[in-house]
Structure 1
Amino acid sequence: MSKQCLMCQLTREVAAYDSNDLRGVLASVFQYIAATLGVHAVDVLLYDAATLTLKHAGGRGFHTRAFETASVHTVLAAPVIRDRRVVLNSDLRKPEWAQSQELVNEGFVTYLGMPLVADNQLKGILEIFQREALNPNALWLETLDEITVYTASALGQILRIRQLLRANADLGSTCDAIVEAWSRSLELRDYEPKGHIQRVTDMTVEFARTMSVAEAELVHVRRGAQLHDIGKLDIPDHILVKTEELTDLEWEIIRRHPVTAYEMLAPIEALHPARDIPYCHHEKWDGTGYPRGIKGEEIPLAARLFALVDTWDTLRSERPYRKAWPENKAREYISERAGKQFDPQLADTFVKLLESGKMAKPKTSSGPLLGRYDEVIIKV
């Protein structure tokens, strides 16, 4: 097969790998080098400019695993790192190299190190080891130069993707910490009964998974459930602690908390997908909910799922002014409200899951809930 055909094959193989699959990409590169250049052993070292260290990323053709230790390469690769130039050592049998037992055991005679530069930065080193003298011709060197450039480009792209993935992971961790702190603040101020947020979060995620919501979306479902009443932080305490019937004005203030939640989360772009539950979980299937009065499937799926779980947990939990409802009574209530308050298909599925035991049921719980803000019972 010609060199051009082999390069086309390499390109196709690399394109087939996951964009973050460094090991797979290097395996194809090593195979190409072995086929076109006839080398005995080849590897790639990753270079960390921050720590000035090398890390073995993969290799081919070695008799032992000793060369997977980056320290073996330090002296050989030092000029490549320092000068960013190709280094050829044509006689590893000289006395100064005899101290390296790894080189002796492998029987290497020739070393060739090429800097892998991408985005004007040294990303790593491509090393070739030969167990005999190496006398490359012009075509051999041209091919080596092509594969070095190709490998550097592929390596640079993979490292950029990994950097983005790390950044996204860090951002995700930061978002999770923010979400946890905010949801915790609600319970600490007794705006939510103890354990309510965790219960409805776990149950909503379980329900969403049962309804085949994509795994990638479940993180937003979880965050949204944790933050479902974050807008309560803007409600004056005297309204939340009020034990008498709320006035129309007070209900108007209460019913603004989904909008407040939406506005609170607006500056945090990573939490935008999680706003469906805080913003829409008080909407009703028949359009009589708030804040926008949307109806049916205009209501986001996550909010429709959560509304059922939140109602179930509220009914099954004790309050200072009432006992927890029995399971059968709570299920009957949900069934009666199907098509009015709840998505009828989801309500039917939810009740069946509860009856079959396939949906985990949190234990009857009690906890402080300031005032009588329990819309499920007071105003439906």
Structure 2
Amino acid sequence: MMRTQLLVMASLFALLGGCGDNSKLCGPGTNDDDDDGECEPGGGTTGIVCGAGTRLDPITMDRCVADPSACGPGLLLVNGICQDPTAELAIDLEEGLEPNGLEGDATPAGDIMLEPVGSDGFVIHGCIQPTSNTTADLDRYLLTVTEPTLLEITADGVGGLAAGFLVLATSTTAPLASFERLGLGFATDTSQRQLYLPAAGTYHVYLTDSRTLLPRIDGAALASLPPAGSPDGTSCYYVTLDQLTPMPVALDLANGDNGTIDGDVRFYTATLPGTTQITETITSANARPSLAITEGGVLRQLANTGVAVVPAGAPLIIADFVYHHDLFPAPYRLTVEAL
């Protein structure tokens, strides 16, 4: 009995010894890779430790990204941090006066001015207040970019709002005229995704409830979308727009690419010797792929079917999606076929 107790105590002391900064036995999230006898922050094979409210990016494995599921009750994901909406949040743009949506006399709710890459995001606050059982409230903002731009948009709702967003090009000229991206969230009150604005120009950014936007995936007209949110105007949103730097990888022309797609846009470089068909497939009834093909910064094609026939050249291939509202990442594949 005494021998057993001594063994247990010895094990306990060994375990506790690993918690100190001067021990070679380092606890979770630390290591002594430099052999100086002290434990420094480290993250296993990546060397990255992500703080509260963030997680390791499952695609790049080289950065911490916001984790929408990490915010507790009463907290919102604003500017990449779980924050209390009753506190004094740093808001860059408050929703302008109504009408600011689809009404004939509407004026935009405001102009979005993106922050540079690496800066804090641009934060918008507003509220959704339907005026009847058949009239949805969509707040329309304007966003102008001078070059193709990668964004990550996070919309978090309060007061029963399942915050969502719709981005449309104002251009009526093909191929940009068909640009459409939806951010939908139904598991929580938050929607989050990346999207790529494939050309310079002005875009409409509609902020509303995800339930209002859901019929849009079947082609419903904006004017026919159903209302959601509280008539008393207490259903509100906090939306953060972050500007990101695209990270292209070389496309394997023989094998294409595959994996899972969640909220990230994928970028590929390629040298095509001849006319080539590129097909993006997302195995889900709740997602629609969309390929953008640019060359020299100029948009050549926008294929919302996920199939693009590309002439010989050195294009940038952007594998995006119009919408994707599965609860989990969906299987994804990019195939390449010479024609």
Pairwise TM-score range, normalised by the shorter structure: under 0.3
- Higher-Rg structure is 1
Higher helix fraction (1 or 2): 1
Higher strand fraction (1 or 2): 2
User: Normalising by structure 1, what TM-score?
Assistant: 0.24
User: Normalising by structure 2, what TM-score?
Assistant: 0.26
Higher relative contact order (CA 8 A, sep 6+): 2
